[in-house]
Structure 1
Amino acid sequence: MRVITQHRLGGPEVLTIEDSPEPRVLPTEVLVRVKAIGLNPLEARLRAGEFPLLGRPPFVLGWDVSGVVEQATGSWRLRPGDEVFGMPLFPRAARAYAEAVAAPALHLARKPASLSHVEAAALPVVGLTAWQGLVDLGGVGEGDRVLVHGGGGGVGHVAIQIAKALGAHVIATASGSKRTFVEGFGADEVVDYTAVDFTAAVRDIDVVLDTIGGDTVERSLDVLRPGGHLVTAVAEEDAGLIARYEAAGRRFSGIAVDPDPVALRGLVALVEQGGLRVHVQETFPFERVADAHRLLDRGHLRGKVVLTL
């Protein structure tokens, strides 16, 4: 089979396609013939050496996959022919930039019929991050006021929909050029961060979901109500920040997404109820992975970028 690998750190040009043996399937695992691969900003950082999660090259990037089960020896959860999607093994290497992936069956779910493989491949990382941040950590419920930083991005546009499904009033920060896009996913209010300081425009927030990091995390303390909770998907838990939030009577949590099968089933149910869709900004064929990574490097995406096979 073909895989996309790299033998050195650097720009998109370091990504190369090579032949590799198909992965061996262990009991409780399945072999998935990949139809589409979702790309994430983290992978561009790993490729460039900004974040040493996978160690030194060579390595194969990728976690978001959608495809068809080809082998299911020793697994009762899935059968050959099942269309599945998921984010297997994260943060360990899943080697998803490949024509076939071996994955624990528990880390996959049957693909909703309403989603194409491209859409399904775009959902797991951003969907699980948003779900775990809002449902599991944030405990968002009916009538809560939720602020989503980066509402036009991959996690952000999914988080808006999940928060709305939970009954929240959702405010999103986004550039003015993304206002219509963000409103289309259900945001009740949009704050153009290029023109307005969100701390002057927003008050009494129950849960902040941060996808930006930097000083946005520190400044979000000012918009939370007493007892409010900031959950960040990009900033590490900092003892000083935690102490500041606690001293002010607020909570601070950093989230590291994991391939939780309960949350994955929650996303499937929301899709099947018509309450969740994922936006794919652009697709690229497998062979044009370097072009796809150049788009990742430019940032300011609307939704996700996906490779197709």
Structure 2
Amino acid sequence: MKSVRFSSFGGPEVLEIVDLPDPHPGPGEVRIAVRAAGVNASDWKKRQGLMDPELPQTMGYEAAGIVDELGEGVTDVAVGDRVFGFQASGGAQAELTVLFCYAPIPPSLSFAEAAALPVAAETAARALDQLGVESGVTVLISGASGGIGSAAVQLAVARGARVIGTGSPAKHDFLRSLGAEPIAYGPGMPDRVRALAPEGVDLALDVAGSGVLPELIQLAGGPENVLTVADFAGSQQYGVRFSRGDGGRALYVLSQLSELVEAGRFTLPVGQTFPLSDVAEAHRVGESGSVRGKLVLLPG
């Protein structure tokens, strides 16, 4: 099968399409013929050598496709079913991949739309869980219009929370459509939050990593009420929790998405799709930040 791999760290040019042995599922896993695989910021961090030191590395942790092989004990799906989910070892950007966590694709979604969901939704759900977002609280989400941010907005609204979200003025209508009360980021942001919530907010989530943790701590009444998924250095400096997957992942969210999607309460736009062979261009586009919405590779 064809798969994305790199054998040295560097720019997008180190990415190559190689032939690798077909994978096979273990107990409780399924193999899919990949129809779409998500691209994430962690991909270019891996490629640059900022995450895992070993070489070579394959790429991708989320995919959607058609089940073509079942692992031992799998009874909840059948060969031929459309599913989406997570790949454990970073090999989802390939013609075939094994999913250890999966769910049926919501009927209204394409493969590309389904492949855009797992990483953003799991990261958002995990952060909301760790922060304690529930019905009746007011949560400020900094960086609310991106993939993880917009997922966090919608999942928080589904929990019954009031959401204030920062974004550029051009994205305020989009944030309103998700159920958030939008404000502009940048100088004066705390005053704009207090105009909506005079007593401040109960909780704050930093998705953007744009250096706003001191303001979020002030607005939320202390570092214990703030969590970041994007600013590890700032979390250490200011005593804010940093969300990471090794502390327990919110894999349950996959099974919740179908109901939310079909009810029109969850969406994550696909910004652009690329053939698998154009993975380097997908990285260039992603790193430039020029496209709003998820980038997705289409192997077949």
TM-score of the superposed pair, with normalisation by structure 2: 0.89
Q: What residue identity is the alignment partner of 2:192?
A: A
- The answer to whether the Cα contact below 8 Å between 1:205 and 1:228 also exists between their aligned partners in 2 is no
Q: What residue identity is the alignment partner of 2:260?
A: L
Cα shift at 1:184: 2.6
Hey, which bits of structure 1, 4+ residues long, moved more than 4 A? Answer: 237-240
Report what 2:213 is aligned to.
Answer: 217
SS state at 2:279 partner: helix
Pair 1:158-2:154 in alignment: no
Pick from 275, 278, 281 the counterpart of residue 285 of structure 1.
Answer: 275
Structure 1 residues 122-161: aligned runs within 5 Å = 122-134=116-128, 136-161=129-154
Report what 1:61 is aligned to.
Answer: 59
- The answer to whether the Cα contact below 8 Å between 1:111 and 1:120 also exists between their aligned partners in 2 is yes
Cα shift at 1:65: 0.5
Pair 1:117-2:107 in alignment: no
Pair 1:171-2:164 in alignment: yes
Cα shift at 1:170: 1.4
Runs (5+) with no aligned partner, structure 1: 243-251
**Is the alpha carbon distance of 1:44 and 1:227 closer, same or farther for their aligned partners in structure 2, counting shifts above 3 Å?**
closer
Q: Deviations over 1:3-47 (max 9, x none)?
A: 011111111111111111101322222111101011111111111
Pair 1:232-2:228 in alignment: yes
**Is the alpha carbon distance of 1:166 and 1:228 closer, same or farther for their aligned partners in structure 2, counting shifts above 3 Å?**
farther
- The answer to whether the Cα contact below 8 Å between 2:272 and 2:293 also exists between their aligned partners in 1 is no
**Is the alpha carbon distance of 1:226 and 1:219 closer, same or farther for their aligned partners in structure 2, counting shifts above 3 Å?**
closer
Report what 1:41 is aligned to.
Answer: 41
Report what 1:246 is aligned to.
Answer: none
Cα shift at 1:181: 2.6
Structure 1 residues 97-108: aligned runs within 5 Å = 97-104=93-100, 107-108=101-102
Report what 2:185 is aligned to.
Answer: 193
Aligned residues: 290
Pick from 238, 245, 258 the counterpart of residue 241 of structure 1.
Answer: 238
- The answer to whether the Cα contact below 8 Å between 1:88 and 1:259 also exists between their aligned partners in 2 is no
Q: What residue identity is the alignment partner of 1:40?
A: N
Cα shift at 1:79: 1.8
- The answer to whether the Cα contact below 8 Å between 1:109 and 1:265 also exists between their aligned partners in 2 is yes
- The answer to whether the Cα contact below 8 Å between 1:32 and 1:102 also exists between their aligned partners in 2 is yes
Report what 1:254 is aligned to.
Answer: 242
Provide the C-alpha distance between the structure 2 equivalents of 1:37 and 1:178, rounded to a whole number of angstroms: 26
Considering only aligned residues, what root-mean-square deviation do their CA atoms show, in Å? 2.0
Q: What residue identity is the alignment partner of 2:238?
A: L
SS state at 1:35 partner: strand
Cα shift at 1:259: 5.0
Cα shift at 1:192: 1.6
SS state at 2:71 partner: coil
**Is the alpha carbon distance of 1:114 and 1:227 closer, same or farther for their aligned partners in structure 2, counting shifts above 3 Å?**
same
Q: What residue identity is the alignment partner of 2:54?
A: R
Q: What residue identity is the alignment partner of 1:9?
A: F
Report what 2:284 is aligned to.
Answer: 294
Runs (5+) with no aligned partner, structure 2: 195-199
TM-score of the superposed pair, with normalisation by structure 1: 0.87
- The answer to whether the Cα contact below 8 Å between 2:228 and 2:243 also exists between their aligned partners in 1 is yes
Report what 2:28 is aligned to.
Answer: 28
Provide the C-alpha distance between the structure 2 equivalents of 1:73 and 1:169, rounded to a whole number of angstroms: 42
Provide the C-alpha distance between the structure 2 equivalents of 1:273 and 1:300, rounded to a whole number of angstroms: 30
- The answer to whether the Cα contact below 8 Å between 1:94 and 1:103 also exists between their aligned partners in 2 is no
Cα shift at 1:191: 1.8
Q: What residue identity is the alignment partner of 2:26?
A: L
Cα shift at 1:300: 6.0
Provide the C-alpha distance between the structure 1 equivalents of 2:250 and 2:160, rounded to a whole number of angstroms: 23
Pair 1:305-2:295 in alignment: yes
- The answer to whether the Cα contact below 8 Å between 1:157 and 1:303 also exists between their aligned partners in 2 is no
Report what 1:249 is aligned to.
Answer: none
Provide the C-alpha distance between the structure 1 equivalents of 2:175 and 2:189, rounded to a whole number of angstroms: 16
Report what 2:197 is aligned to.
Answer: none
How many percent of aligned residue pairs carry the same amino acid? Answer: 34
